[in-house]
Structure 1
């Protein structure tokens, strides 16, 4: 008898959702069929095992078919459900038809509160991937209630104090899930491989790609605050036009070998993106966390929990003066890096897969 499939929904904004699903999928038993619903199937080109995929219309930004439909208020139990959007009707219809046809053991949603409600209406057991942030609104709580459980790809020690106890009891914490597999090596070995000086302090800035880029002006102030150090910036930056470049501030742009630069660095300045946090934890570096804007204050909430635990220094905004930078960097250098390192669990993806498989078996067991 063929096992019921696992169906995954992957939000197509950024690569994090797809990478996380592929990391978990590598540990799902081969006899369990996998199916993916996504608006960007190409993000799954590196899927480590056999699977099938259904492409969804990209409904982000699609217009309503009349002004009157566009102007209808959003129900409080939902977040983004404009009326009269053809792409959305097709999007949700394809999901519904796929669930009807495949009759999955579990529908794993990464992420969408509305799709969790759709799964419950269709009588399909759903697992929602958890993220940090202020998700106490009725829409998120309804999504949590609609599913059969939640999967948190992080350590329970950085759970938010305001997350409801009833929801916490239904959550499986995998430990810190990092999708990067590049080897971690000693600092000097990494520096030699990258052609970096062995005798200079090096700070790596990981610039987020979620918006227009990390602001460049604060980094020029940081470089002035440490003229004898080397500051390296990986990723896009945003310039306002008035910045002065400094010789100890170097832009790397997009790089494929981020782990090597993490290993080479003495400290890291970055946002609170989920995989970014666990990449830094995996390398065990002092972490100055400056969150990017995200819906529901996701990154601010995660950074606050990291700081509470002593795993990172959390700054809500970029330092604007040399004394501010020096104070923040001194605090960062004083961190016990073993705390952050302990938040990464190399077995997190396997633990997630084993839990999903156990739930898929338990929920369909006939006595």
Structure 2
């Protein structure tokens, strides 16, 4: 019944985290057909021969064809469904074509409430990738309820307290899924590799591709407040044009080896992005977390759980004074880093792939009246 039928992956193209997570899971799936549907091929690396890539139109900002269509109210059970959008219609058509013609055994959705619902309408089991956030609305709950199961690529220790118990019982927690598998060097090894001073106190600011970059003006204040420290930034920074430069603040931009910079640092300043959090936890570094704005308060909710777990010193916004910067760095350095060990699991991609394989076997080869997977995870009934 399963044979050579594919597993499908819808991968959102905002940032790089969704794509990297998909690649990490694929590396542990058995040899079988895989179809990836996404609006940006460039966020993926080299894909092997078993993978078919279907390019979706980028529908973000696609205008409606009339003002009246533009003004149509969005139903509460959906999030992004503009009326009269050529690209949305094309997206839905391509995904429907895959679901109806290729007969996939699973459709892994990372992330879209609408496509999980569409998968259910095509009678294809969806697996919704879970993310933090204020997601108690009809759209998210409908997608979760329509899915055969949910996959959370993080530790259950940072699950939100308001996530419904009935859905928690149908969620598989992989443990912290980090897409980097390179060995973590020691602080001294990393500094030697990067040509950084062995003894100087180093503060690293890390930003990824999902936003506009770290705010540069607050970092100049940090560099002034801790003038004996070397402040490094990797990834993009956002300048407003009025910043005063300091000699101990050095911008590295995009780098090939962010892990070495994290390992070299005494303190890391970063947002609450999934892979960012797990990369820092893997290296075990004092962490000042300043969540960025994301839809449904995703990073704010994740940061709250990190703070509650004692894995990061969380601030609602960048420090704006010398004393606030000094307090933040000291508070991060006072954290018990053992709390971070609960956040990262080197086996998380393999566990995710194993879960998908077990779920596929259970759904298509198991008895119809048995509603659980090994370990007690409940299936939708």
Task: Detail structure 1 runs of 4+ shifted over 4 Å in the superposition.
Answer: none
CA distance in 1, matches of 2:213, 2:119: 36
CA distance in 2, matches of 1:38, 1:240: 33
Contact 2:216–2:237 under 8 Å retained in 1: yes
Number of equivalent positions: 366
Contact 2:16–2:210 under 8 Å retained in 1: no
CA distance in 2, matches of 1:21, 1:212: 23
Query: What per-residue deviation string (whole Å, max 9, x for no partner) do you get for residues 39-91 of structure 1?
Result: 12233332356211211111111111111111101001111101011111111
Q: Cα distance 1:218–1:3, how it changes in 2: closer, same or farther (>3 A)? A: same
- Per the alignment, residue 5 of structure 1 pairs with 6
**RMSD of aligned alpha carbons:** 1.2
Contact 2:157–2:342 under 8 Å retained in 1: no
**For 1:61-100, what aligned pairs fall within 5 Å after superposition?**
61-100=61-100
TM-score computed with the length of structure 2 as normaliser: 0.94
CA distance in 2, matches of 1:335, 1:42: 38
Unpaired segments ≥5 residues, structure 1: none
Unpaired segments ≥5 residues, structure 2: 368-381
Contact 2:154–2:174 under 8 Å retained in 1: yes
Q: 1:341 Cα deviation (Å)?
A: 2.7
Partner SS state of residue 36, structure 1: strand
Q: 1:365 Cα deviation (Å)?
A: 1.3
Partner SS state of residue 250, structure 1: strand
CA distance in 1, matches of 2:249, 2:274: 26
Query: What per-residue deviation string (whole Å, max 9, x for no partner) do you get for residues 317-363 of structure 1?
Result: 01100111111111100011121133110000000000000000000
- Per the alignment, residue 295 of structure 2 pairs with 295
Contact 1:158–1:305 under 8 Å retained in 2: yes
Partner SS state of residue 365, structure 2: coil
Contact 1:107–1:125 under 8 Å retained in 2: yes
Q: Cα distance 1:110–1:306, how it changes in 2: closer, same or farther (>3 A)? A: same
- Per the alignment, residue 325 of structure 1 pairs with 325
CA distance in 2, matches of 1:110, 1:350: 17
Q: Does 1:34 align with 2:34?
A: yes
CA distance in 1, matches of 2:208, 2:92: 30
Contact 1:159–1:305 under 8 Å retained in 2: yes
CA distance in 2, matches of 1:170, 1:244: 52
CA distance in 2, matches of 1:34, 1:153: 20
CA distance in 2, matches of 1:334, 1:215: 25
CA distance in 1, matches of 2:122, 2:193: 54
CA distance in 1, matches of 2:174, 2:348: 5
Q: 1:5 Cα deviation (Å)?
A: 1.6
CA distance in 2, matches of 1:292, 1:18: 20
- Per the alignment, residue 355 of structure 1 pairs with 355
CA distance in 1, matches of 2:212, 2:271: 14
CA distance in 2, matches of 1:231, 1:42: 31
Partner SS state of residue 150, structure 1: strand
- Per the alignment, residue 102 of structure 1 pairs with 102
TM-score computed with the length of structure 1 as normaliser: 0.97
Contact 1:26–1:49 under 8 Å retained in 2: no
CA distance in 1, matches of 2:108, 2:209: 26
